Amino acid sequence: MDLTIECVLFITGLVFGSFLNVCISRIPREQSVVSPGSHCPSCGASVRWRDNIPLLSWALLRGRCRHCRAPISWRYPAVELLTGTLFSACFPYFGASWLTLKLCIFCFLLVGLIFMDAETGLLPREFTYSGIVLGFVLSWVAPTDTAGTQFLLRLYDASLSSKGLALLDAALGALVGAGFFYLAWAVYYLVRKRHGMGFGDVALMAMAGTFLGLKLTLLVSFCAPVLAMLYSILILAVPALRATALGSEFNAGPDVGARDSFLTHEIPFGVFLGACSLGAVFFGEWMWRWYLGFFR
Ligand SMILES: [Zn+2]
Measured in angstroms, how far is the CA atom of residue 37 from the centroid of ligand 1? 14
Note residues around ion ligand 1 (Cβ under 5 angstroms).
Answer: 40, 42-43, 65, 67-68, 70
User: Which comes out higher in pLDDT, residue 172 or 295?
Assistant: 172
Average pLDDT of the residues in 34-58: 89
For the chain, what is the domain count?
2
Which of the pair, 174 or 231, is modelled with greater confidence?
A: 174
Coil, helix or strand for 188?
helix
Burial class (CB in 10 A: 0-12, 13-18, 19+), 199: middle
The pLDDT of 145-163, averaged and rounded, is 90
Q: Is residue 189 part of a domain?
A: yes
pLDDT at 198 over 80: no
**CA 33 centroid distance within chain:** 19
Q: What is the average per-residue pLDDT within 48-71? A: 91
36 in any annotated domain? yes
**287 in the same domain as 247:** yes
Q: Which of 22, 38, 2 is nearest to 83 (CA)?
A: 22
* Distance in Å, CA 35 to ligand 1 centroid: 18
Report DSSP letters for 198-257, one per residue.
Answer: -HHHHHHHHHHHHHHHHHHHHHHHHHHHHHHHHHHHHHHH-GGGGGG-SSSTT---TTS-
Cα–Cα distance measured from residue 30 to residue 115, given in angstroms and rounded to the nearest whole number = 16
Centre of ligand 1 from the C-alpha of residue 113, in Å: 26
Task: Kindly tell me if the per-residue pLDDT of 126 is higher than 90.
Answer: yes
Q: How far is the CA of 101 from the centre of ligand 1 (A)?
A: 36
Asked if 106 and 281 touch (Cβ cutoff 8 Å), the reply is yes
In a domain, 67, yes or no: yes
Q: Select the more confidently predicted residue: 192 or 280.
A: 280
Cα 115 to middle of ligand 1, angstroms: 22
CA 66 to ligand 1 centroid distance, Å: 7
Beta-bridge partner residues of 64: 71
The answer to whether residue 253 scores a pLDDT higher than 60 is no
Residue 45, φ and ψ in degrees, nearest 5? -60, 135
Would 118 be classed as within a structural domain?
Answer: no
Q: Which residue range is the domain that position 21 belongs to?
A: 1-96
